[in-house]
Amino acid sequence: MTEQGPNAGAGGLGPARLRALVVDDEAPLVALVRSYLEREGFDVETAGDGERAVELVRDTAPDVVVLDVMLPGIDGIEVCRRIRSFSDAYILMLTARAEEVDKIVGLSTGADDYLTKPFSPGELVARIRTLLRRPRRAATAEPPPRRFGDLVVDPLAREVRRGGELVELTRLEFDLLDALAASPRVAFTRQQLLERVWGPAWFGDDHVVDVHVANLRRKLGDDGGAQRYIRTVRGVGYRMGTGE
């Protein structure tokens, strides 16, 4: 991240060059956005898919990421979550459909703003200037314990307690439960859980997710069809329950 800070955008973007990453699989749009940002004094990198976008954020530490929702491979919402796990870059998401706006706003993806297509490059630049005036979010903020009825998932201590009693979990079981608990309104597919918990290089059968969910339910006293904590979303995968 640059040493310049967010106020550099006020009254012009300042003498030090800020870094931007533009992520979209539409080459003409990427070229247009890139040209406008370069005119505004940005050094611009581009990516056409989600995996490459995450790599570039790690490698180049951009100040701003312009991120399309619809991408080949992992979608922009998942890319946003991955970026937010290690970066405090401002993220402005691009969307073409109203239901995608609902996802961006309702699922707490970590995006700072969104813009619907079609848009004017001038408006995009104005939105970015507004973002640059905001204090940056703290990427290293300690996540609080997450509560679901009598179940408490503490990501910092890597502990799970049910009714005050410690529940012994394996590393993978904890990581799977923590992924669900971190976004309790999200219905995750098995593939999404594999990528978040086992990693994008995993090439095994996604049935492994079902096996670990079954083990988790047993250890949480949630088997036998109760589904108080981990709920099956038919045709999709799993999401976190309220514990009620």
- Distant-in-sequence, close-in-space partners of 57: CB < 8 Å, separation ≥ 6: 21, 65, 83, 86, 87, 89
120 shares its domain with 218: no
Q: Please state the pTM of the whole predicted model.
A: 0.52
Sign, CA dihedral 172-178-181-187, equals negative
163 shares its domain with 218: yes
122 shares its domain with 194: no
pLDDT class of 135 with cuts at 50, 70, 90 = low
Domain that holds residue 88: 6-132
Q: Which of 154-158, 173-177, 217-221 has the lowest mean pLDDT?
A: 154-158
141: in domain: no
79: in domain: yes
196: in domain: yes
157 shares its domain with 200: yes
Q: pLDDT > 70: what percent of the chain?
A: 81
- Number of domains the chain contains: 2
In this predicted structure, the answer to whether residue 52 has a pLDDT above a threshold of 80 is yes
114 shares its domain with 157: no
182 shares its domain with 87: no
Higher-pLDDT residue of 89 and 136 is 89
pLDDT class of 12 with cuts at 50, 70, 90 = very low
CATH code of 225's domain: 1.10.10.10
150 shares its domain with 120: no
Q: What distance in Å separates the CA atoms of residue 45 and residue 30, rounded to the nearest whole number?
A: 10
